[in-house]
């Protein structure tokens, strides 16, 4: 068969047109099939979030926001994902965006409050929990979170009010009973605390913290066998839980189980030696200011700096080299000898000293974002009145926490003080050497300076 060339070309052009149309139609169909709507993407992200697959959830929320930039739910759920990932600043940013596009959604305030709380921005957290409750007066979780804030700040009256309201609107949340149990324990209502911890366990909170706290309640009620059962449950979950080993040994002692108590004490010390090996500080060396007014002992490799003005001697001690005008102190001490104390302080003895020290620390505490007393103690050191406090502090929100050992001793008309510090996580390594430094302090007075 003979086909004319122009007819062949024509048929080929038609075929190309048909193929192009088919390809275009296929592309349109493929696009319609693949390009998912913001609603579909949001639901897929929520499904991944509910399965605790946080990294898989984030791209869905990102795409939703790209396609629908004022979708408050997408910001909310992405914020929730960041909250679970402990990326708190990002969580706050997304909850804030969610509130911008829907200021009447209480969950955004509640969860932003949690993020603020984890960052120890307590004023902002309280404000958000309260706003969530205003928007939804039956929001049980917001009452519980605000009650937890009040419990932490030792506002026990408001804490109890909020826990009762939380229980009124949702009586099945085990975390609520754990928190109320802690409140009852703090207020010395140990039987009520035990009942709350038991209810938390019944509702599914089978965790170390609830068994440990119930065990402590049993100890106060002198139900040592039940306490041992709960401490043992904690140790099944975490065999290296030092507090449970220590407390179970105490209970065994109370029941006359000497061998079991001995085993727990030995295991407790073994774990401490394994997990927290103390550094070798070497020998201690004696140091003093140029006028030999103050002397003390510090580790051989440590550094000390003295400065004197008209009435006072200032000093710095550091594990590292010292630049007193710029370098921040990490591990070491600040201190000084202060002369010419007010007469009312001197005449008040140890009570006057404590009052003077408390007033001076109150003003200094205002420079810190966090300043919490853990222990306060009065004593006699080498015939003189002294105080020794332990404080947990943070210079700024978000900074690491420090433990500070405050020491002050008064004699004649002067007071000598040392404030020794280390990061909270490392304090156990330096506690012994800090005590050695304190116990070595000598303050010398000439006859003219004695009253």
Q: pLDDT of 20-44, one tens digit each?
A: 544 444 444 443 434 588 899 999 9
Nearest 5°: phi and psi at 287?
A: -130, 155
Strand bridging mode 402-411 / 414-423: antiparallel
**What pLDDT does 44 receive?**
92
Q: CB burial class (10 A; 0-12, 13-18, 19+) of residue 226?
A: middle
Residues 288 and 266 in one domain: no
Residues 406 and 356 in one domain: yes
CATH code, 361: 3.40.1000.10
19 found inside a domain? no
In whole angstroms, what is the distance from residue 56 CA to residue 90 CA? 17
CATH code, 116: 1.25.40.10
In this predicted structure, the answer to whether residue 15 has a pLDDT above a threshold of 50 is: no
**What pLDDT does 135 receive?**
97
Residues 230 and 110 in one domain: yes
Q: Quick one: DSSP state of residue 187?
A: T
411 found inside a domain? yes
Residues 321 and 414 in one domain: yes
**What pLDDT does 257 receive?**
95
Tens digit of pLDDT for each residue in 109-130?
999 999 999 888 889 999 999 9
Indicate the residue among 275, 304, 334 that finishes a domain.
Answer: 275
In whole angstroms, what is the distance from residue 380 CA to residue 387 CA? 8
Q: Is the dihedral of CA 223, 226, 232, 238 positive or negative?
A: negative
Nearest alpha-carbon partner for 144 in 162, 160, 127, 157: 162
8 found inside a domain? no
Residues 134 and 151 in one domain: yes
Tens digit of pLDDT for each residue in 160-190?
999 999 999 999 999 999 999 999 999 999 9
7 found inside a domain? no
216 found inside a domain? yes
- Domain that includes residue 407, residue range: 284-449
Residues 257 and 341 in one domain: no
In whole angstroms, what is the distance from residue 15 CA to residue 109 CA? 62
In whole angstroms, what is the distance from residue 127 CA to residue 130 CA? 5
Domain count, the chain: 2
The residue among 323 and 42 whose pLDDT is bigger is: 42
Partners of residue 128 on adjacent β-strands: none
């Amino acid at each position: 068969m003979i086909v004319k060339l122009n007819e062949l070309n024509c048929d080929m052009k038609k075929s190309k047109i048909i193929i192009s149309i088919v390809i275009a139609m296929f592309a349109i169909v493929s696009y319609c099939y693949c390009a998912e709507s913001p609603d579909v993407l949001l639901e897929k992200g929520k499904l991944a979030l509910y399965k605790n697959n946080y990294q898989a959830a984030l791209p869905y929320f990102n795409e939703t926001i790209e396609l629908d930039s004022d979708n408050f739910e997408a910001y909310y759920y992405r914020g929730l994902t960041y909250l679970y990932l402990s990326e708190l600043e990002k969580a706050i940013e997304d909850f804030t965006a969610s509130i911008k596009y829907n200021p009447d959604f209480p969950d955004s305030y509640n969860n932003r409050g949690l993020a603020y709380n984890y960052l120890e921005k307590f004023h902002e957290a309280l404000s958000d929990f309260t706003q969530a409750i205003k928007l939804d007066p039956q929001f049980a979780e917001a009452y519980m979170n605000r009650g937890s804030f009040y419990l932490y700040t030792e506002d026990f009256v408001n804490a109890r009010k909020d826990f009762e309201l939380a229980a009124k609107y949702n009586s099945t949340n085990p975390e609520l009973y754990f928190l109320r149990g802690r409140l009852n324990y703090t207020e010395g209502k140990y039987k009520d605390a035990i009942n709350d911890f038991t209810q938390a366990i019944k509702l599914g909170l089978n965790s170390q913290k609830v068994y440990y706290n119930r065990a402590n309640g049993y100890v106060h009620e002198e139900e040592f066998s039940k306490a041992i059962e709960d401490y043992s449950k904690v140790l099944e979950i975490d065999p290296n839980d030092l507090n449970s080993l220590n407390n179970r040994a105490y209970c065994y002692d109370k029941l006359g189980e000497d061998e079991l108590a001995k085993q727990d004490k030995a295991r407790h010390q073994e774990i401490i030696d394994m997990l927290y090996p103390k550094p070798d500080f070497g020998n201690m060396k004696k140091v003093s200011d140029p006028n030999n007014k103050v002397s003390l002992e510090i580790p051989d490799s440590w550094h000390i700096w003295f400065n004197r003005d008209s009435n006072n001697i200032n000093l710095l001690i550091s594990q590292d080299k010292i630049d007193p005008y710029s370098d921040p102190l990490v591990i070491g001490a600040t201190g000084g000898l202060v002369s010419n104390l007010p007469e009312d302080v001197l005449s008040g003895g140890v009570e006057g000293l404590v009052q003077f020290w408390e007033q001076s620390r109150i003003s200094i505490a205002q420079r810190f974002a966090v300043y919490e007393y853990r222990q306060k103690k009065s004593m006699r050191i080498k015939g003189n009145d002294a105080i020794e406090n332990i404080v947990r502090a943070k210079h700024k929100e978000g900074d690491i926490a420090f433990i500070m050992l405050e020491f002050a001793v008064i004699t004649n008309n002067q007071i000598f003080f040392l404030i020794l510090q280390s990061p909270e996580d490392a304090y156990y390594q330096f506690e012994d050497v800090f005590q050695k430094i304190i116990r070595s302090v000598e303050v010398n007075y000439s006859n003219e300076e004695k009253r």
